[in-house]
Structure 1
């Protein structure tokens, strides 16, 4: 009887039956993309059995080819498979909603109560721990892609270009992608494809067929990938993406900080390959040095908030935008209102492209998934990201461990060589201690990020309480 019952077709899960599960996944989306993808796999594949293993990996490999947070895009894609555009919007928006609300609330607390000693002490320990987390990201990404000398060379060149020559981040990513496309054709052993989640050859070409028990919508799966449909959906989502930013420019002016943020973070969303840490170098340097929206130490505070709240790590851009608009509200808004509006516009500019990519590209997934050349291009981009994230780690560490840092430069063969020069007497021993504790917890004792952050914050609180200084 049990075997016969198991073979009977399952009744399709309705939109409203799936809604609580997407809420549950959103509430558990802590710990970065690896942990978030693991949560979705456990719930959607193992527990609910709404999608099969092959289809899950199929969708994930597609999302890995896209700029932006792959975990949020994976949720959006599976939501689309189950309930079309409505399902995609629900799964994707719910995935970021808890993080958006949390970071907005914490940003308000940050600007209003930062001078309170207890709050200041918490962020003191938190920002030191985040340095260890960034280094962990360097090692995690590096272990995935730096498997040949050519890939290691790409990472080193990317680091030197961005750290010493200040080559723009988008140019580094573009050059790496081109190198991957050409390199894989000329020397495929030197520039291998990226297979992060499944061994090559284990996926079924018949993956688009619906397996027994899967809860995908046959009408959605059967959508034909045509250029007319792609162009129509792309036009709709480009309008959805840019019209709010244009409306802000119309109301507040093209030179207002909120308009500038909308345009800037839209551009950043196009180059977020290899995870959030890659583009954070670009965002941090532009937001700190070019626009003056926040200080390096405040950037670390934002990273700490993003690491300890649910949702994608890229939500740190919301904190950056909040502080930038709060400090530059203009004539029409109060600082708090400007900060909130800046947060909303920035989150919109960051995630609207994700829906554009999924809803236009999903029908082409099989073609893209089988493209070894595109996969190789992504692999070389990810190798470059290792150097970019290492640059971020060093830049943040120097600005955090030392209270005063100067940038020096020297003309060299037509280029300008840059480096950081700290004032050694401004060394913060408390920050050094907290960072060392975080390093031991994460690398030696192998504690989770959240546990390591909590313990390091405790050490910072004790240091602050005993000495009353950093």
Structure 2
């Protein structure tokens, strides 16, 4: 290992940077289920099984990912890369996590344009979408039991956050902040006159990435729009979908309704972050370089808004006030994830077969804990291809 690869404290690190990069490359290649499932995989593999990342570092990463705009899973991956290997780790881990799914959506975009649509995708998503509900539900259950336990205050925050997510069908920043402040004031109240301990957000940086003039060249227009989307949409990758619809379909007319639905389906049936659908959209609008510009513009703000506050959390994250704040935000975040399971289920479970697929998936993963999720996804895809014509004939 070279000097640049060495972590700040080698004695506290059980892995090399390249081991973590390899893991994220694999997760980006086979990690199905969207943001909720992906953050669950990271917890299971990096905190529980391999013990590369501590419980506290994971919670800090979840807090930053929830407080800052951008895709949840990608931000958490970037922060986990930062934990022991700082900016070099954050950069390489972030690229490794996003690159596989980007290559997949570009390839699918080429096929889509060549053959005028992907009619079989609806059948595949019919099965995969239902199975994903079971995968996400199991991830949410594990996060809940591990991080909340029997803490009554955190359970109250969890339930309120879940309910708000179900009702509003979105993840509310004010709820995460409010939960953090509530636990902070109840368990580690600040002394009068003391300096503030909440992390400052990089709003000026995000605000500088606006749309700009609408008469730019197409690539510049794509870059400006997707940078704006990546800078101001909070929550999981799914939260960006209605925002994108308003821009790429209604405002600019880059895609038709059918094309946009197909773009979302591509994101859901490919592994990695859901937000990678921006790469598919960019390809449909302006070819390969449109995909590159759209993807870079979407992920750059979340990268910057993760590494900028990271040093603060590393220096001050053990203070009682910060620990209490992080506990509150984490409880709200897990509640939002649990609520998202219900929201996504309402869209993916459309009949008795999809309901059965979701339940069976959760039961199988509960019974066979070592079963790999890609096996479940492939089986669900094959069931969808076979059953969809029969159910919708």
In the TM superposition, what whole-angstrom CA distance separates every residue of 1:82-117 from its partner, at most 9, and x where no partner exists? Answer: xxx556534443443334333443455467668445
| Match runs of 1:257-272 below 5 Å | 258-268=223-233, 271-272=234-235
Q: 3-state SS of the aligned residue for 1:383? A: helix
**Aligned residue for 1:317?**
275
Q: Could you tell me how far 1:346 is from its partner in structure 2? A: 0.9
Contact residue 165 and residue 340 of structure 2 kept, 8 A: no
The 3-state SS of whatever aligns with 1:147 is coil
Distance across 1 between alignment mates of 2:228 and 2:91: 23
Would the aligned equivalents of 2:229 and 2:243 in 1 still touch at CA under 8 Å? no
Q: Residue in 2 aligned with 1:79?
A: 85
Kindly indicate whether the alpha-carbon contact (under 8 Å) linking 2:81 and 2:93 is maintained by their aligned counterparts in 1.
yes
**CA shift in 2, pair 1:248/1:354, >3 Å:** farther
Give the equivalent residue in structure 2 for 1:13: 2
1:207 is aligned to: none
CA distance in 2, matches of 1:250, 1:438: 49
Which residue in 2 is equivalent to 1:462?
Answer: 386
Alpha-carbon offset, residue 397 of structure 1: 1.9
Say whether 1:357 aligns with 2:306.
Answer: no
2:294 is equivalent to residue 342 of structure 1: yes
Could you tell me how far apart the structure 2 residues matched to 1:339 and 1:61 are? Answer: 32
SS in structure 2 opposite 1:66?
Answer: helix
Please give the alpha-carbon distance, in whole angstroms, between the structure 2 residues aligned to 1:344 and 1:167. Answer: 24
| Structure 1, 70-79 or 33-42: larger mean CA deviation | 33-42
Q: Distance in 2 between matches of 1:347 and 1:100?
A: 12
Shift of 1:181: 1.7
Stretches of structure 2 that go unaligned for 5 or more consecutive residues are 7-15, 32-37, 66-71, 190-198, 250-254
Q: SS at the partner of 1:173?
A: helix
Post-superposition CA distance 1:321-342 (Å, at most 9, x none): 3465577x5xxxx477645532
Unaligned runs of 5+ in 1: 1-11, 47-52, 187-229, 273-278, 310-314, 403-427
Assess, with a 3 A threshold, how the Cα gap between structure 1 residues 300 and 382 changes in structure 2: closer, same or farther: farther
Between the aligned partners of 2:45 and 2:169, the Cα distance in structure 1 is 38
The equivalent of 1:174 in structure 2 is 177
Contact 2:124/2:385 (<8 A) preserved: yes
Whole-Å separation in 2 of the counterparts to 1:439 and 1:376: 32
128, 145, 148: which one aligns with 2:148:
145
Q: TM-score, normalised by structure 2?
A: 0.69
Q: d(CA) in 1 for partners of 2:374 and 2:148?
A: 26
Indicate if the aligned counterparts of 1:430 and 1:460 stay in contact, CA closer than 8 A: no
Distance 1:439 1:93, change over 3 A: closer
Residues 281, 389 of structure 1: 8 Å contact kept: no
Q: Which residue of 2 aligns with 1:382?
A: 330
* Distance of 2:321 and 2:5 partners within structure 1: 40
What secondary structure is seen at the aligned counterpart in 1 of 2:216? Answer: helix
RMSD: 4.4
1:259-285 Cα distance to aligned partner (Å, 9 max, x none)? 3432232123xx55xxxxxx3453345
Instruction: Select 2:316's aligned residue among 367, 391, 406.
Output: 367
Matched, 1:438 2:361: yes
When structure 1 is superposed on structure 2, of 177-186 and 34-43 the one drifting more is 34-43
Q: 2:165 & 2:129 partners in 1: Cα distance?
A: 23
Q: Contact conserved, 1:318 with 1:347, CA < 8 A, in 2?
A: no
Matched, 1:391 2:359: no
Instruction: Pick closer, same or farther for the CA change 1:96–1:174 going to 2, 3 Å.
Output: same
How far off is 1:130 after superposition?
1.3
Larger relative CO (CA 8 A, sep 6+): 1 or 2? 2
User: Is it true that 1:28 corresponds to 2:9 in the alignment?
Assistant: no
Are residues 103 and 336 of structure 1, via their aligned partners in 2, closer, same or farther at CA, if it must alter by over 3 Å?
A: closer
Task: Provide the rounded CA distance (Å) in 2 between the counterparts of 1:41 and 1:167.
Answer: 28
After superposing the two structures, state which structure 1 stretch, 372-381 or 162-171, moved more.
162-171
Question: 1:132: Cα distance to partner?
Answer: 1.5
Going from structure 1 to structure 2, the CA distance change for 1:16 and 1:104 (only over 3 Å counts) comes to farther
